[in-house]
Chain A
Amino acid sequence: MEKKAFQKVYTQLQAITKATIAVKAQGIGNDELAIVGGRLAQVVRIIGDMVTLQVFSGTEGIATNTEVIFLGEPPTLNVSDDLVGRFFDAYGKPFFGEKREIRGEKREIGGPSVNPYRRKQPSDYIHTGIAGIDLNNALVTGQKIPFFANPDQPYNQVMAMVALRAKVDKIILGGMGLSNDDFLYFKKMFENAGVLDRIICFVNTTEQPPVERLLIPDMALAAAEYFAVDKNENVLVLLTDMTQYADALSIVSNRMDQIPSKDSMPGSLYSDLAKIYEKAVQLPEGGSITIIAVTTLNEGDITHAVPDNTGYITEGQLFLRKDSDTGKVIVDPFRSLSRLKQLVIGKQTREDHPQVMNAAVRLYADAANAKTKLENGFELSDYDKRCLDFAKDYAEKLLAVDVNIDSTEMLDKTWDLFSKYFKKEEVRIKDEFTSKYWK
Chain B
Amino acid sequence: MKTKGKVTGIIANLVIVEVDGPVSQNEICFVSLGEVKLMAEVIKITGSRAFIQVFESTRGLKTGNVVEFEGHMLEVSLGPGILSSIYDGLQNNLKTMDGVFLKRGEYTSPLNPDTEWNFKPLAKAGDTVKAGSYLGEVPENNLSHKIMLPFKFRGNYTVKSVADEGSYTVNHVIAVVVDEHGGEHDVTMVQKWAVKLPITCYKNKPRPFRIMETGVRIFDTFNPMAEGGTGFIPGPFGSGKTVLQHALAKQAEADVIIMAACGERANEVVEIFVEFPELNDPRTGRKLMERTIIVCNTSNMPVAAREASVYTAMTLGEYYRAMGLKTLLLADSTSRWAQALREMSNRLEELPGADAFPMDLSAVISNFYSRAGYVELENDKSGSVTFIGTVSPAGGNLKEPVTESTKKVARCFYALSQARADSKRYPAVDPVDSYSKYLEYPEIQEYLNETVEDRWHEKVAESKNIILRGKEAAEQINILGDDGVPLEYHDRFWKSELIDFIILQQDAFDKTDSSTPMERQKYMLNLVLEICRRSPEFENFEECASYYTDLINIMKQLNYSEYGSEKFMNYEKQILDKTGIKNNN
Contact = CB atoms under 8 A, between A and B. Distances in A.
Interface of A: 26-32, 44-49, 74, 111-122, 142-143, 229, 258-262, 267-268, 270-271, 274-275, 278-279, 281, 283-284, 302-305, 308-309, 311-313, 315-317, 334-335, 337, 339-340, 342, 354, 358, 361-362, 365, 373, 376, 378-379, 381, 425-426, 428, 430-431
B175 to A, nearest CB: 34
B343 A268 contact: yes
B509 A425 contact: no
Interface string B408-448: 00000000000000111000000000000000000000000
Given A258-B346, A278-B266, A315-B265, A48 B339 contact: no
Given A114-B266, A278-B266, A316-B238, 8 more contacts: A46-B11, A114-B101, A116-B273, A116-B298, A268-B343, A278-B300, A312-B333, A335-B422
Interface residues of B, number: 72
Contacts of B274: 121
A270 B59 contact: no
B339 A267 contact: yes
A270 B339 contact: yes
B549 interface: yes
B204 to A, nearest CB: 39
Given A112-B102, A274-B300, A261 B342 contact: yes
B461 interface: no
B342 A267 contact: yes
Contacts of A49: 63
B400 to A, nearest CB: 9
B395 interface: yes
B1 interface: no
Contacts of B102: 112-115
B509 A303 contact: no
A268 B303 CA distance: 9
Given A115-B100, A116-B269, A117-B94, A267 B60 contact: no
Contacts of B270: 116, 119-121
B356 A47 contact: no
B267 A315 contact: yes
Nearest to B479: A376
Nearest to A47: B9
Contacts of B509: 342, 354
B44 interface: no
Interface in B278-337: 296, 298-301, 303, 333, 336
B62 A28 contact: yes
B292 to A, nearest CB: 14
B271 A121 contact: yes
Contacts of B266: 113-114, 116, 119, 278, 281
A142 B237 contact: no
Given A48-B63, A113-B102, A229-B100, A317 B9 contact: no
B398 interface: no
Contacts of B86: 116-117
B122 interface: no
Interface in B193-239: 236-238
A122 B267 contact: yes
A30 B59 contact: yes
Contacts, number: 192
B10 A30 contact: yes
A113 B104 CA distance: 10
Contacts of A381: 482, 542
Given A46-B9, A267-B343, A278-B300, A425 B63 contact: no
Contacts of A335: 422
A4 to B, nearest CB: 19
Contacts of B298: 113, 116, 278
Interface stretch (B74-82, B130-138, B146-154, B553-561): B553-561
Nearest to B400: A262
B573 to A, nearest CB: 15
Contacts of B336: 270
A48 B16 CA distance: 9
A334 B553 contact: no
Contacts of A281: 266
Given A112-B103, A119-B267, A271-B303, A259 B60 contact: no
Contact of B94 (A112, A115, A312): A115
Contacts of B392: 312
A117 B424 contact: no
B369 to A, nearest CB: 22
A119 B268 CA distance: 11
A373 B424 CA distance: 21
28 contacts: A28-B63, A29-B62, A30-B59, A31-B58, A46-B10, A46-B62, A112-B103, A113-B101, A114-B266, A115-B94, A115-B99, A115-B100, A115-B101, A121-B273, A261-B342, A267-B356, A268-B12, A270-B336, A274-B299, A274-B300, A305-B394, A311-B237, A313-B265, A315-B265, A365-B424, A379-B481, A379-B482, A431-B557
Contact of B59 (A31, A275, A308): A31
A27 B62 contact: yes
A259 B553 contact: no
A335 B102 CA distance: 35
Contacts of B423: 362, 365
A268 B341 CA distance: 10
Q: Which of B9, B61, B394, B423 has the most chain A CB atoms closer than 10 A to its own CB?
A: B394
Contacts of B144: none
A381 B540 CA distance: 12
B356 A261 contact: yes
Contacts of B359: none
A114 B100 contact: yes
Interface in B368-424: 392, 394-397, 422-424
Contacts of B482: 378-379, 381
A311 B265 CA distance: 11
A271 B339 contact: yes
Contacts of B35: none
Contacts of B95: 117
A334 B418 CA distance: 11
B114 interface: no
Contacts of B94: 115-117
B36 interface: no
Contacts of B333: 312
B60 A32 contact: yes
Q: Which are the 9 A-B pairs with shortest beta-carbon distances?
A: A303-B395, A278-B300, A274-B299, A311-B237, A261-B356, A117-B94, A31-B59, A29-B60, A47-B9
B62 A283 contact: no
Contact of A74 (B59, B63, B346, B556): B59
A225 to B, nearest CB: 9
A113 B63 contact: no
Contacts of B560: 430
B272 to A, nearest CB: 10
Interface string B83-125: 0001000000011010111111000000000000000000000
B57 interface: yes
Contacts of A274: 263, 299-300
B465 interface: no
B226 to A, nearest CB: 29
Nearest to A366: B423
Q: Which of A121, A259, A379 has the most chain B CB atoms closer than 10 A to its own CB?
A: A259
Contacts of B59: 29-31, 74
B356 A358 contact: no
A317 B60 contact: no
Contacts of A116: 86, 94, 266, 269-270, 273, 296, 298, 301
A223 to B, nearest CB: 16
A278 B296 contact: no
B51 to A, nearest CB: 12
Contact of B100 (A260, A284, A361): A284
A364 to B, nearest CB: 11
B8 interface: yes
Contacts of A313: 265, 299
B424 A358 contact: yes
